[in-house]
Structure 1
Amino acid sequence: MIPDDDPSRSLTVANPDAPGTTYVSLVGNTYALLVTSAQTNGRYCLIDMRVPDGGGPPPHRHDFEEMFTVLEGEIEFTFRGEKHTVGAGSTINIPANAPHNFRNISGAPARMLCMCTPAGQDEYFLRVGDVVAGKDAPQPRLSQDELAERRRRAVELAPVYRSEFL
């Protein structure tokens, strides 16, 4: 049986250019948190990812599903050790627990939407990255000590957010 409507939840309209959008700088990428864990009662989150040429995370895995739709550019996904090139307009789903990473191989900036279900990745990015003013804001200039602190924090918090670096 379907439960009754929950009137405490409201419609969410997400636009990366809307005032109030939170942007996070992380490993050279800029992520706009479009739909957050708080807005979906933890069901999923949606992140607009802007990835510079050559950018992307190190190999990792997590116990949640992650789906990417490439909007601009070309992304090389490594999934269980096998490389897959995905261009604009394509969607790729990474099953929970599978080792993977991605890298922008476009020769120019790339952009993708990333949905994680259940949610939590948005909160992890906020705790590990740096909030910036907008999608085109320059990356923060971090000292070697600050970079080391970000890496330490990412590794320390990964298990809290059901993730593991490989």
Structure 2
Amino acid sequence: MTASAIPADDPKRALVHVTPDDARLPHLSIAGGTYTILVGGGDTAGRYCLIDMRVPPGGGPPPHRHDFEEMFSVLEGAVEFTFREETTVARAGETVNIPANAPHFFRNTFDQPARLLCMCTPAGQDDYFLRVGDPVDGPTAPPPSLSADEQEVRKQRAAALAAEYRTELLVP
């Protein structure tokens, strides 16, 4: 019998089957939208994470870059992606991959909500979002009403944790 180049099955790892509205999943208010961590790094041995992003008109993160790959599949609506200072629109059914280390951001500049699936590889962005986001009751729950001071605290927390999660925020 010849040795297999593929490692043996790890019976400690389980099948992950989720629905985006499951109340047990982490639903977080981040960057003006609601992000649901569908599959976290703990589910994939750190290989990737998958996040369901619901982005209202005007929502989206500030310019940033990180040392991991990030892929977005637009499920509903459209968003503008700015990648290395060039802007493109991605609409429902389209996919955008952001290479590691490249400056980018996205914004919903349209009058309808957008919904994206975001895969990061390797995982880690899921943990960052858990530490910087505000928990909400579900994927369609409204974000918390934050004062200007509370918003500033969130921005400072995101900036303080960014380097730990291999991210650089490109805002003053």
TM-score, with structure 1 as normaliser: 0.97
Give the match for residue 75 of structure 1. 79
Partner of 1:89: 93
**Structure 2 residue aligned with 1:60:** 64
Amino acid at match of 1:44: Y
Kept in 1, the 8 Å contact 2:23–2:138? The answer is: no
Identity %: 63
Q: Give me the whole-angstrom Cα distance separating, in 2, the residues matched to 1:69 and 1:107.
A: 19
- Report how far residue 73 of structure 1 moved: 0.6
Larger Rg, first or second structure (1 or 2): 2
Q: Distance in 1 between matches of 2:132 and 2:164?
A: 12
Question: 2:46, 2:124 within 8 Å by CA — same for their partners in 1?
Answer: yes
User: Residue 105 of structure 1: CA displacement?
Assistant: 2.3
Q: CA deviation at 1:127?
A: 0.4
Runs of 4+ in 1 over 6 A off after TM superposition: none
Partner of 2:21: 17
Distance in 1, matches of 2:165 and 2:99, equals 16
Q: Is residue 2:136 matched to residue 1:132?
A: yes
Cα-Cα RMSD: 0.9
- Offset of residue 18 of structure 1: 2.4
Task: Describe the SS at the equivalent of 1:158.
Answer: helix
Matching of residue 116 in structure 1 with residue 98 in structure 2: no
CA distance in 1, matches of 2:56, 2:140: 11
Give, in angstroms, the shift of residue 94 of structure 1: 0.2
C-alpha distance after superposition, 1:24-53 (max 9, x if no partner): 001211001100011111110000000001
Aligned residue among 142, 148, 159 for 2:146:
142
1:50 to 51, 54, 57: 54
TM-score, length basis structure 2: 0.94
Which of 41, 45, 48 is matched with 2:45 structurally?
41
- Structure 1 residue runs of 5 or longer lacking an equivalent are none
Aligned pairs, number: 166
